[in-house]
Structure 1
Amino acid sequence: MDRIVDITTEGLHLNVYRGFLIISQEKHEQGRIPLDDIGALIVHAHGTTWSTSVFVRMAERAIPVVLCGPNHAPVSVVWPFEGHHLQGARLRAQAEAAKPLKKQLWQRIVAAKIRMQGHVLNANGKDGKGFNLLARKVRSGDPDNVEAQAARRYWKALMGAEFSRDQSTPGVNALLNYGYTVLRAVVSRAICASGLHPTLGIFHSNRANAFALSDDLMEPYRPLVDQIVFNCLQEAQTELAPTTKFALTSLTTFDLDSGIGLSPVAVQVARFVHSLAMSFESGKPQLEIFKPPSPLELASLGRAALEGEV
């Protein structure tokens, strides 16, 4: 199973030896991880050093290396030149995708996100009424910005009337930043493996955003991160610490049902991204979106890590 490797301790050195990522401090090995087990490498510690071979070996395996700022949000992702064996054809199909198709794809993504937000609220005894109706109101391209309407209701209902989503603040927002960073890395790897390019988004198109497609495709999965953060709050764990980080990275192993059986999030994301590639090639929207987990399943998200059972 893909592991999210998070480097937070200052003074570590990373290098690769015989198929392992070697983590050292003052020339003494602290640990090693098989490269084939790594799903993403996230670096928070600004004093980290590494050999060039780390980036080369990661790129060969389509493993994103995410560099984060002080607020735990990503500021850079190292991206390989080569990906899927059909990358050339996929990239052309992605770049030439008709505007109506992209609008239809975005409609489905936004509707799925809003339905999932309502499901999370209902599962936690909050007011999720009306979110299914909002999801049905999303039109092609979401010209009415129903996504923003839902977000305003969602955050207040889930986190309280005083909560404001602000990436620069600590506490809950730092937990969300970290969880979304993990999710973004998982989605970015799936994009590379599918032969698509992260810069060519469906909706997000900011010239300064080199991972617009990643930001588009992670939308339906964001409420899963929110649920883990909510579970952290229920356990009075409001700061970004080893326990809460472990809870958030455990998202990648959480099972989702996309209609053909249960698969870990990392696998289901790969199928979702592949369905997008097929949509670009066929010219028809055919996204494989997961079914909302049960309230009991959502309540379990990250719990084992928070309770010290793993």
Structure 2
Amino acid sequence: MQRVVDLSTDGLHVAVHRGFLMVSKDREELGRVALDDIGGVIAHAHGLTWSNTVFTRLSERAVPVVLCARNHAPVACIWPLEGNHLQGARLNAQVSAPKPLAKRFWRDIVVAKIRMQGAVLTSVGADAGGFTVLARKVRSGDPDNVEAQAARRYWRGLMGPEFRRDQGGDGTNALLNYGYTVLRACVSRGICAAGLHPSIGLHHANRGNAFALADDLMEPYRPIVDRAVYNLVKDGTAEVTANAKRALAALSSLDLPTPAGMSPLHVHATRLAQQLSGLFCGECNRLPLPEPLDPLILNSLTRASATVS
């Protein structure tokens, strides 16, 4: 199980010693984690100090370090320059990928996301009848913005008619921000390990977005975070507490079904990035996107993650 290290206490010092990431405060060690067990580092706190060796050792293992603002939304990512020995060739293939190919991939991603949203709505007893139809309407590049049409119905059905998704908001929105940050870290690591660049997206193309490709590939997994946040809110969690962080970080190891059997989400995301790299290079012909989970399984799996203490 790869661990997501969350640094949320002010004034911490982070260093590396004998293969471990060590966290201390006022020269007192608070904890350590083996570098090889880390899947991502998320930093929220003020006054953090770092040894430069931290970044070099994590980068050698393709582990991203995500820096976040107060609302738990990521603002920067430190990622390795050499995540794969074929990186140069794969970066060239990624940059030169024809637009029709990128549009086709984006269509497949949107379809997978909408189908997963439908499964989430079904799992909470909401009406999801139109989501199968919406998924069928998605064309190459999603020129009709079916993704946005689905989102409007989805958030009303999942969180209620008064809910508005706001990246700068608190409460439920802050919980979603944190869960998505965990996803970005998992997907960004897979992208780096596959020899791709996380800022060169298929659809997301904001010049200032260092996570463009990560934001693309994480879309089908977002509803899993949404379902976990739904559980937290229903259980009375109104803000990003330590228990909520543990629950959402645990989603990176949530088992998802694949043709070869069950696989943790972070492994599934890594395979997705590797397959995308292969598609850019003409080595394969389809993306292994996550399939909609059975509502009963989805409910039990995310409920188990959401109640981790």
TM-score using structure 1 length: 0.97
Distance, in Å, in 1 between the alignment partners of 2:94 and 2:144 is 25
Following TM superposition, the consecutive aligned residue runs of length 4 or more in structure 1 with deviations greater than 6 angstroms are: none
Counterpart position of 2:22: 22
SS at match of 1:184: helix
Matched, 1:156 2:149: no
Deviation by residue 1:239-290 (Cα, 9 ceiling, x = unmatched): 1101111110110111111222110001111111111111111187510012
Deviation by residue 1:114-150 (Cα, 9 ceiling, x = unmatched): 1110110011101111101101100000000000000
Q: Percent identity?
A: 58
Aligned positions of 1:127-146 closer than 5 A = 127-146=127-146
Matched, 1:90 2:81: no
Counterpart position of 2:107: 107
In structure 2, list runs of 5 or more residues that go unmatched. Answer: none
Matched, 1:50 2:50: yes
Distance, in Å, in 2 between the alignment partners of 1:82 and 1:38 is 18
Contact 1:251 1:301 in 2 (8 A): no
Structural RMSD (CA): 1.3
How far did 1:224 drift? 0.4
Change (3 A) 1:307 1:271: closer
Distance, in Å, in 2 between the alignment partners of 1:209 and 1:161 is 30
How far did 1:237 drift? 1.3
Counterpart position of 1:196: 196
Distance, in Å, in 1 between the alignment partners of 2:261 and 2:279 is 22
Counterpart position of 1:219: 219
Distance, in Å, in 2 between the alignment partners of 1:275 and 1:120 is 26
Contact 2:228 2:306 in 1 (8 A): no
The one-letter amino acid paired with 1:296 is L
How far did 1:291 drift? 2.0
Distance, in Å, in 2 between the alignment partners of 1:94 and 1:82 is 15
How far did 1:21 drift? 0.5
How far did 1:305 drift? 5.4
Counterpart position of 2:35: 35
Matched, 1:266 2:266: yes
Change (3 A) 1:276 1:19: same
SS at match of 1:143: coil
Distance, in Å, in 2 between the alignment partners of 1:285 and 1:148 is 27
Counterpart position of 1:240: 240
The one-letter amino acid paired with 2:79 is W
Deviation by residue 1:24-47 (Cα, 9 ceiling, x = unmatched): 010011111100000001010012
The one-letter amino acid paired with 1:174 is A
Contact 2:106 2:203 in 1 (8 A): yes
Distance, in Å, in 2 between the alignment partners of 1:213 and 1:135 is 21
How far did 1:110 drift? 0.5
In structure 1, list runs of 5 or more residues that go unmatched. Answer: none
Distance, in Å, in 1 between the alignment partners of 2:269 and 2:236 is 30
Matched, 1:297 2:271: no
SS at match of 2:189: helix
Matched, 1:210 2:200: no
Moved more, 277-286 or 78-87: 277-286
How far did 1:297 drift? 2.2
SS at match of 1:4: strand
Change (3 A) 1:284 1:58: closer
Aligned positions of 1:276-295 closer than 5 A = 276-282=276-282, 285-295=285-295
Moved more, 265-274 or 284-293: 284-293
SS at match of 2:281: helix
Contact 2:10 2:47 in 1 (8 A): yes
Contact 2:228 2:305 in 1 (8 A): no
Distance, in Å, in 2 between the alignment partners of 1:22 and 1:72 is 23
Counterpart position of 1:8: 8
Deviation by residue 1:143-189 (Cα, 9 ceiling, x = unmatched): 00000000011001100000000011110000000000000010000
Deviation by residue 1:192-235 (Cα, 9 ceiling, x = unmatched): 00001111110111111122101111000000000100111221
The one-letter amino acid paired with 1:298 is L
How far did 1:301 drift? 3.6
Deviation by residue 1:36-87 (Cα, 9 ceiling, x = unmatched): 0000010100121111111111111110001100100001100111111111
Distance, in Å, in 2 between the alignment partners of 1:299 and 1:102 is 33
The one-letter amino acid paired with 1:103 is K
SS at match of 2:67: strand
SS at match of 1:236: coil
Distance, in Å, in 2 between the alignment partners of 1:284 and 1:236 is 46
